[in-house]
Structure 1
Amino acid sequence: MLKILVLNGPNLNLLGTREPEIYGSETLQSIESDLRACAEALGGVEIEFFQSNAESDLITRIGETRGNFDGIIINPAALTHTSLGVADAIKAVADAVPSVEVHLSNTHAREEIRHKSLTAPGCIGQLMGFKGYGYVLALQALVKHLRSSR
């Protein structure tokens, strides 16, 4: 059984009502439901979800993954562009727990400050611009990566 932690950063609890022209109308709960269905279809995949508006909570959860999870799907939200702490946490566990970064919008088509990801260099891949479906793509890619590396 593969165990995947899905981490969501600041303000993602507001999905569905927060700037739907950028982030879409899906809620975090509907994205979670789609991911659970995908995990079931893939077979042998268990998912745990965690969302926090606090940088330290995300850093702590990443640090707890070694020995407890096989992979991470992370949407660090605005912390993508500002948090060396989250970036360092991802790198600290990357040898044992690979991560895939997800963004609902294409950050390269937005304000220039959103063009640089501090967290992506520690990840095995990055998906952006596909709204909630990006999480499904990330799960499929991460599971394929994990199964092929065993």
Structure 2
Amino acid sequence: MTSTVYSLQPGHCTRCSVAFPADAAPFIVSETVARDYLDPSIPRIGRIATVKASAPVCEACLTDGERTWCTAEMVCEGCGDRKFVHPRDKKATCSTACWQRARRARIQRERPPLKCNVCATFFFPKRRADAKYCSNLCRQLAYRLRLG
């Protein structure tokens, strides 16, 4: 038996590729999707891998089995949209991109503010946990002060 392989498009049903209306909550189901592991600058020659992934589906595309077990409503931590999932689904996000967004926000909340070595203001580092300066201006000023 061959199964259909779908591609994921943000904001669209995985099966019919129709955009979700603003007020509709998609259903998150397990689906076989294509993942292209090639560099985007290389022409489309090579392998495309298929994986099982959580995919958003509109109500019209749901099977009867999916309709019976996809009953719990959740709010995604990444995008804030509401979705319908299986009651035992422990995921708090609807996609990998939302998981990354939620993880970055959680790390940002958990990091304590740092004190700039030049102007003594408190700031939250964006890239490095061990940042010393709040801006490029302070970093350049510290360099010029070091030079004398």
TM over 0.5: no
TM-score by length of 2: 0.24
TM-score by length of 1: 0.24
